[in-house]
C-alpha cells in the first residue's frame, strides 16, 4: 500500500502538525466497489470543500455483509489502489464495523462528511462532525445497476 493509505491507530502514524489540523478535512466513505463517473464527481466536489480529503473504504467482509455474497467485485486492496490513484484523494483508510468507522472519522479530525443523498437519515458518524453534505445522484449511475447489466 502506498503512503496515502493510513492507519490512525498505527504508532508510526505521524502526529499532524498544527497547520495540518487547522485545515478543513473532508470525509467520504463507502465500498466504492466499481468506480463510476458519479463517484468521481462526488469525490471532486468533496475535495472542493476542504484542504484534505479522506476516503474510508468498507472491508471486503463488510461489503459482503451489506451487499450480498457476490460482492465486492474488487478486493479491498484493489479498491485502495484505485482510490489512491484519484487525484482529489489525499488519504485512504478502511473499516470493518460501525464502531471502527466512527473511530476513523474522529481520528481524522474531519469537519464534514459528504455522502450520497440516498443516505439521508442514516449517516453513521454524523454526530462526529460539524456538517453533513448530501450529494445528489448523478447520471442515474449506481454500482448495483452497472453490475446487473
Q: pLDDT tens digits for 11-43? A: 554 444 544 555 699 999 999 999 999 999 999
- The C-alpha cell at 9 is 491507530
The SS3 assignment for 69 reads coil
Under the banding of pLDDT at 50, 70 and 90, the label for residue 58 is very high
Q: Determine the pLDDT at residue 11.
A: 54
Pick the closest to residue 107 from 4, 12, 5, 21 (CA basis): 21
Reported as a single tens digit per residue, the pLDDT across 81-91 is: 999 999 999 99
What mean pLDDT comes out for the span 90-100? 97
The yes-or-no verdict on residue 103 having pLDDT over 90 is yes
Query: For residues 14 and 39, what is the distance between their CA atoms, to the nearest angstrom?
Result: 29
Amino acid at each position: 500500500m502506498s503512503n496515502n493509505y493510513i492507519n490512525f491507530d498505527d504508532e508510526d502514524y505521524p502526529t499532524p502538525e498544527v497547520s495540518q489540523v487547522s485545515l478543513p478535512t473532508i470525509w467520504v466513505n463507502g465500498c466504492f466497489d466499481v468506480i463510476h463517473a458519479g463517484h468521481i464527481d462526488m469525490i471532486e466536489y468533496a475535495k472542493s470543500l476542504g484542504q484534505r480529503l479522506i476516503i474510508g473504504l468498507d472491508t471486503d467482509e463488510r461489503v459482503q455483509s451489506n451487499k450480498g455474497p457476490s460482492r465486492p467485485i474488487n478486493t479491498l486492496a484493489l479498491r485502495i489502489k484505485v482510490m489512491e490513484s484519484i487525484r482529489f484523494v489525499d488519504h485512504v483508510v478502511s473499516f470493518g464495523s460501525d464502531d471502527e468507522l466512527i473511530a476513523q472519522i474522529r481520528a481524522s479530525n474531519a469537519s464534514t462528511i459528504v455522502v450520497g443523498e440516498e443516505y439521508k437519515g442514516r449517516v453513521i458518524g454524523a454526530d462526529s462532525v460539524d456538517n453533513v453534505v448530501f450529494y445528489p445522484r448523478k447520471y442515474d449511475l449506481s454500482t448495483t445497476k452497472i453490475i446487473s447489466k
